[in-house]
Structure 1
Amino acid sequence: LAEKSDFLEVAYLLIYGELPSIEQYNNFTKQVAHHSLVNERLHYLFQTFCSSSHPMAIMLAAVGSLSAFYPDLLNFKEADYELTAIRMIAKIPTIAAMSYKYSIGQPFIYPDNSLDFTENFLHMMFATPCTKYKVNPVIKNALNKIFILHADHEQNASTSTVRIAGSSGANPFACVSTGIASLWGPAHGGANEAVINMLKEIGSSENIPKYIAKAKDKNDPFRLMGFGHRVYKNYDPRAAVLKETCKEVLKELGQLENNPLLQIAIELEAIALKDEYFIERKLYPNVDFYSGIIYKAMGIPSQ
């Protein structure tokens, strides 16, 4: 799927249980594009946050506030499932981009229905009213793979949180906002941010042995971020895909040979994979280990 499909095909598969025909795909993408706008009144919510607010704090509040725009979903029925799922898929990228734009003091960029799902997100993130954003196909394909590799992946903390909130019959937008709160944590969605900070702390390849020793010292609070997984007891297959994707992105941007974070990450991985301490404990790189480097190369700040 990561190699041959786009994210909306995978989203369709998760909702309906099968990949779409061309006609089904075209209809689905049109519906998602149709619902990508958010109510104009939502813009006022953003103005209540200070400029230093973390984008994830803004994000969870904004997604939760959608429950006020769809109050009838408190009586959530099976007939509502499909449209609500489409609205979620369509509006959350818009809100994510708005959260980022607000955090850097730039005006919001409206969705462009002439672009596909991933292109539109990049457009809303990086275009300005005076500068059009030209989507790089390598960047687009990398982000599309990231979306797919993170889709519906086992019973993680945010999934569990949403299901627990939903079990009471709460508004689904409110339930998803609780999942975003869980996702924010450094042990979950914040892990790729923690990996970037860790690589910066290590600083250079010469310091890797020292930090490997710190990670193995049970009395040292330092931990290797981006290693280990509750389900995968061998190498996370998603990490292998993202490692190659990371190289493709950095090569496209002319950073492959001189990106210090990538060099540290590759050497750190190589050393850890040969160390008996990590082998015995089945601590291998996971999906977060390389994704943060890709985000950073795209221009997305680590926070």
Structure 2
Amino acid sequence: MGLTTTPRQSLTVVDNRTGKSYELPITHNSVLATDIKNIKAEPAPEDSPEDETKQGLRVYDPAYMNTAVVQSKITYINGLEGILRYRGYPIEQLVQKSNFLETAFLLIYGELPTESQFGNWQDEISHHTFVHTDIEGLLKSFRYDSHPMSMLTAAFATLGAFAPEANPSLRGQKLYTNAASGDLESLQVLDKQILRILGKAPTLAAASYRMRQGRPFNRPAQGLSYTGNFLHLLDTLSDRDNYKPHPVLEKALDALFIIHADHEVNCSTATVLQVGSSLVDPYSVVAAGCAALYGPSHGGASESAIRMLMEIGSPANVPSFMADVEARKRVLVGFGHRVYKNVDPRSTAIRQLADEVFKVTGRNQLLDTALELARYARESEFMKSRKLYPNVDFYSGLIYQAMGFPLDFYPVLFAVPRCVGWLAHWRQQMLTPGGVKIWRPRQLYLGSGEREYVDARDTREKKDGKLADAPVAVSHGGDSKRSLLAAKKVRARL
């Protein structure tokens, strides 16, 4: 028998520009981008000085389609097989057997809590739910029709101003990173801010909702679950001592909070880590995460799915709508995912939950339209060939709609639980051995080369200029027109 040789865990690359061969180590099925940088050559005639060819090869990956930016132990996703696990636990098991605060402990600290740990964790969070009255004043200063996500983002950023002891800009840049070496004081400051943010997130979110309703803010209640207290903050009108949320709705919201708690390095989590790498305080970090989540391509997707169903109108209109989708005349929302090329495991986890909610809230035409759309998608060759399955936004939007939440509140319902994932990744980042490197992506510069300054009197408009090459004309309201006309008269007199 011949000896079998173990394959080398490396990648051999030949640079055809120079004929040189490079061996790049493979670790965890990845290669270091800095190893790619060692591949250098003399500039080719078509290279510009701004290509910096002599400084080494760069990796160009628009929208991070295949770039790993962190090493993490928190969440695992396998998009091809439809797998989502928190710290190794399948999401389906956590939705069935766990609760939100227990799952939050798991995500942040790595293991499921013991009974005593969970009791302390729950107590600490429930005692960090109140906010300073000046923050309530901030929320009251918003216009009556302000988007609740704008209010929540501003409230989190403001919250940091009420915790100067938690600001590395005031206490020293190693305030949190010292925790990586086991510094007890640093760990205490770090974990206290986590408790404060998780405790106050429902309070701030509910205040943005009540502000839109024109109702006074409620005070947090003790003795309720995390989501039970949130529902109390949202809905209690007068008899606060006897308020008890409906158990099915409370359970449904708790399960949705588990499902939305984390999703690896998505847009908002990447934003959190980018901002966190500057060593700013965690309140600013969470506010940045909210700003990223606010976008319709991220946290606003469930809202978009409901708007699409409203546009379809009735189950009878589904075939014609899908015909327009297949003809690329309409956009389908709530199906498919950037990562999942199979069934979204989160949608599987809440499908049964949705049925339980609908039994309580009742069915409506929107639900019937959604179920008909899902049935059509299962049987459509167009959808199956493109692996377009209902995702979490499709079903979560239906549950939120059935529970009576306004459409613009959906991203807030996403942000409250996602604070857990953001803080888990931020804490992991602060505990990085050897310190935190500030994130600084590279770019490929394609603009003009060096040129001489030209005075405005000598400049000429570009012959091949495009619409976006200069400011476009903007419309003004009546008061602005009057002001502009008044200003012209003043200039004429001068």
TM-score normalised according to structure 1 size: 0.95
The one of 271, 276, 301 equivalent to 1:191 is 301
Q: Counterparts of 2:343 and 2:200 in 1: how far apart (Å)?
A: 34
Partner of 1:106: 215
Task: Report the equivalent of 2:144.
Answer: 51
Kindly indicate whether residue 346 of structure 2 is the aligned counterpart of residue 241 of structure 1.
no
Pairwise CA distance, 1:24: 0.5
- Structure 1 33/299 Cα, relative in aligned 2: closer, same or farther at 3 Å? same
Contact 1:227 1:286 in 2 (8 A): yes
Indicate which of 273, 284, 293 corresponds to 2:378: 273
Partner of 1:18: 111
Q: Which moved more, 1:97-106 or 1:272-281?
A: 272-281
- 1:242-257 equivalences under 5 Å are 242-253=350-361, 255-256=362-363
Corresponding residue SS for 1:214: helix
The equivalent of 2:261 in structure 1 is: 151
**Larger strand share, 1 or 2:** 2
Q: Report the counterpart of residue 275 of structure 2 in structure 1.
A: 165
> Which runs of no fewer than 5 residues in structure 1 stay unpaired?
none
Identity across matched positions, percent: 45
User: Of 174, 181, 189, which residue of structure 1 is paired with 2:291?
Assistant: 181
Shift of 1:242: 1.9
Deviation at 1:298, TM superposition (A): 1.6
Name the SS for the 1:2 alignment partner: helix
- Measure the CA separation in 2 of the matches of 1:204 and 1:240: 24
Displacement after TM superposition at 1:216 (Å) = 1.9
Measure the CA separation in 1 of the matches of 2:327 and 2:190: 49
Aligned-partner SS, 1:41: helix
Distance 1:70 1:271 in 2: 52
Matched with 2:393 is 288
Does 1:128 pair with 2:237? yes
For 2:387 and 2:277, the matched residues in 1 are separated by 35
Could you tell which deviates more after superposition, 126-135 or 278-287?
A: 126-135
Shift in Å at residue 125 of structure 1? Answer: 0.5
The amino acid of 1:234's aligned partner reads N
Post-superposition shift, 1:61? Answer: 0.6
Q: Deviations over 1:51-73 (max 9, x none)?
A: 01111111111111111112332
Residues 190-230 of structure 1, C-alpha deviation per residue, up to 9 Å, x if partnerless? 11111111111000111111111222223x2x211111112
Shift of 1:130: 5.2
C-alpha contact 1:109 1:129 (8 A) present in aligned 2 = no
Per the TM alignment, residue 133 of structure 1 is displaced from its structure 2 partner at its CA by 3.7
Structure 2, unaligned runs of 5 or more: 1-93, 169-174, 180-186, 409-494
CA distance in 1, matches of 2:151, 2:191: 26
C-alpha distance in structure 2 between counterparts of 1:88 and 1:284, whole Å? 35
The residue number in structure 1 matching 2:202 is 93
Structure having the larger proportion of residues in helix: 1
1:74 Cα offset (Å): 2.7
The CA RMSD over aligned residues, in Å, is 1.3
CA distance in structure 2 between the aligned counterparts of 1:133 and 1:202, rounded to whole angstroms: 37
Which of the pair has more CA radius of gyration? Answer: 2
Which deviations, in whole Å up to 9, do the C-alpha atoms of 1:71-100 show, x marking residues without a partner?
332324132222111111111111000000
CA distance in 2, matches of 1:235, 1:159: 23
The one-character-per-residue Cα deviations of 1:26-52 (angstroms, maximum 9, x if unpaired) are 000000001011111111101221101
The aligned length equals 298
